Structure 1
Amino acid sequence: MNEHFKLMVLLWVILIMSHVCFLLGGWLVWYPVGCTVIAVCQHYLWLSSFFAMSAISYKLFKTFDSISTHNDSHGNLKCYTYILGSPAVIVASCVAMHLTGFFQYGSPSFCWITGSLNIGVSFALPVAVLLLINIVFFGMIVKSLGQSMDTAASATSRYNLKQRLILHVKLSSVMGFTWLSGLLANIPHLTFFRYIFLFLASSNGFFVAFAFSVNRRILGLLRDSIRSRNTGKSAQQKQLAEASSTVKIKGRKSDEKNV
């Protein structure tokens, strides 16, 4: 299992746990302690997902960078520390302020951070910085990828354009660009972005899994598996039909002998 796939799996796990905590928050809103715990978990998991996307963006940039080193075990350890440790520092600071009364997790309405200023400083600001970093990495990757494709003249220009578009969509799905609609939704007269954000944010894990797991090879394997199962079932039914006909013939012969 390569390093990129490990990071993808980690991102999927974090996103699944984030959505589970979000659903639990709707049930625990009437229990202050449970609501506070879920709010802390959501804060940590959502931040971790963005740090994971940032780490994946960096790894992808290093992959397309011809002068980079790809086998760096110490760098991989730092990458996991960055994903899991950085949000822990932010959340731990917020929990300390929550215990002293300068910060608030949970409310009678929702299990999340309370207060616009608290949300802006502890969540929106780190997310905006990480998205900005991802945009920079995305631009560098697109530039490197374009240069690599320009040098490889093995396909037509139309095919190259299609391939670039597919790769760009795949890369953008793992860099958290869907959350830009959430930032736009806070601007007056742009509240319709909330519906777009809810759909994209709730389906982020699906888009990432579909973009990086579904390809021609996987579809071919699924098609071959379905065909083999259908062939096996038809062969089995044919054998059963032949066996039943053989039994009937033997039964008729035995009846004729008895007569």
Structure 2
Amino acid sequence: MYNDASLFPTNDNVSNVISAGVGVNARIKDLAEPVEVLYLNIGAKHGESITATIKTKTSVVCKYWDFTTSKWADDGCCLNETANPTQCLCNHLTNFALLVTSVQGPTDVVLSVISDVGCILSIIGLFVTILVHALHRESMKKRPAKILLNICSNLLIAYFIFVVGVSQTSNRTGCKVVAVLLHYFFLTTWCWMSVYSYDMYMSLVKVFRGSESKLLQRMAAFAYITPAAIVIITAGVAMGYVDQKQKSTLCGKVIDPTLSSSYIADHMCWLTGGSLYFGFLLPVAAMLMYNFFVFISIFRELNKNSSKVTTEHMRRTTKQTMTIAVTMTSLMGVTWVFGYLLVISTDVIYVTVFSWLFALSNTLQGFLIFLLTAVRRKNLRNVWTAPFKRLYSSTSSAAVSSMRKVSGRTASYSVSELTKYPNGEGDTAQTTTNV
């Protein structure tokens, strides 16, 4: 029994160490019955607790000292969540320790409210954008508008699922379903963004004149099938292989519920660890680089051969299309750069700053698309502003008509009075005449 961890030099919070071994060089491992280590008077409980103003995240981990690496390791050891007092189970003899780490911080209510408001604004903006494009017949005849509708539709579904289900962590099965759907629809949105860039390249650089319907079908197959394959492989490997492997080897059937899946995080229904890096951020990074290379190629080709853009209308349309594509890709790319930077550190100030940056850029994507398409472009702006103009016009006409009626009645009254009193206003006029 070691009362402190001075013989085990690390930065981990270790209060005492229990050692159990046989001989000097012998290591006993793969025990049929695990070693049970009870820790009395340990009030900490593994997991996250949130009150009205304080959020506390406590990590309670059973580990042992690995002399080969001079670090605390956890393979072959686990925390028995159901035991009281705190119990560690290990399938080998070694230097056992319980590492307890608690991090407290204020619950950022303002950030949560702003995220919800941003998501709602994006949902409304995307819905109006879809409706405006659907009602504008001239726009629906063009392939870029059809691609933009697919971007908005998938992003709208992703936002709705995010608002409704991202915090439903109590039901782990439902939480996994939410994470799978978010994973798929966010990837689908990115794939359609790449399709949007490719379509611009084919139209402005290659001047493609093939079958538009067949090209759109091939684009749709890529945008919907590729994310499905990535999600199936990522979820299958994480939940079907890694998680099952842990269940079959880690101290029998004793499993830490907050770490029961390598696919979803413990505090939200979203990806974590390798699933996040390889199943989402890596494909997004690849598509982001592809989009920017395409934009550079288009800019260079248009500057080199400006004769391809012959009319003022075509120049304006090309500029608008490029502005939408570059802005959307840049914002979505910066958003997930913030998302990556958010998970690489646990420093409170660092996490707070990047949480704000990620939340603001992520939740306002849909609203920005609305501003770029349904507000900035005059022909589309007229679609959704026309009902308000008609309402305002009818209200103004009714008010003018009412005023005219009142003026008419006033004028009629004045004429009748003048007829009744031709010399003035009654007695006063008569008095004046007598004088």
Range class of TM-score, shorter chain? 0.7 to 0.9
Counterpart selection for 2:277 from 111, 117, 120: 120
Shift of 1:94: 2.2
Counterpart selection for 1:232 from 394, 404, 425: 394
Counterpart mapping for 1:30-179 below 5 A: 30-69=170-209, 71-102=211-242, 104-114=262-272, 116-147=273-304, 149=306, 168-179=322-333
Q: 1:140 is aligned with what amino acid?
A: S
Distance 1:229 1:84, change over 3 A: same
Structure 1 unaligned blocks of 5 or more: 254-259
In 2, Cα distance between equivalents of 1:145 and 1:29: 50
Distance 1:148 1:135, change over 3 A: same
Q: Deviations over 1:149-207 (max 9, x none)?
A: 5777988xxxx9x9998665422123255423532662779875553333222212222
Q: Deviations over 1:220-248 (max 9, x none)?
A: 67777655544432332333345567789
Shift of 1:98: 3.8
In 2, Cα distance between equivalents of 1:20 and 1:221: 25
Which is worse superposed, 91-100 or 167-176? 167-176
Q: 1:3 is aligned with what amino acid?
A: R
Question: Identity, % of aligned pairs?
Answer: 18
In 2, Cα distance between equivalents of 1:86 and 1:176: 22
TM-score in terms of structure 1 length:
0.77
In 1, Cα distance between equivalents of 2:173 and 2:385: 50
Structure 2 unaligned blocks of 5 or more: 1-139, 244-261, 417-435
Matched positions, count: 248
RMSD: 3.7
Contact 1:181 / 1:194 at 8 angstroms: preserved in 2? Answer: no
Q: 2:197 is aligned with what amino acid?
A: S
Which is worse superposed, 239-248 or 55-64? 239-248
Distance 1:120 1:51, change over 3 A: same
Contact 1:181 / 1:193 at 8 angstroms: preserved in 2? Answer: no
Which is worse superposed, 3-12 or 101-110? 101-110
Q: Which residue of 2 aligns with 1:257?
A: none
Shift of 1:218: 4.3
In 2, Cα distance between equivalents of 1:70 and 1:174: 27
Shift of 1:83: 0.7
- Establish whether residue 202 from structure 1 lines up as the match of residue 360 from structure 2: no
Contact 1:42 / 1:112 at 8 angstroms: preserved in 2? Answer: yes
Q: Deviations over 1:55-110 (max 9, x none)?
A: 11100111111542254322211100111110001111123224423263334311
Greater RCO structure (CA 8 Å; 6+ sep): 1
Secondary structure in structure 1 of the residue aligned to 2:329: coil
Shift of 1:133: 0.6
In 1, Cα distance between equivalents of 2:333 and 2:407: 65
Higher-helix-fraction structure: 1
In 2, Cα distance between equivalents of 1:36 and 1:223: 41
Secondary structure in structure 2 of the residue aligned to 1:92: helix
Higher-strand-fraction structure: 2
In 2, Cα distance between equivalents of 1:208 and 1:223: 17
Contact 1:182 / 1:194 at 8 angstroms: preserved in 2? Answer: no
Distance 1:77 1:236, change over 3 A: same
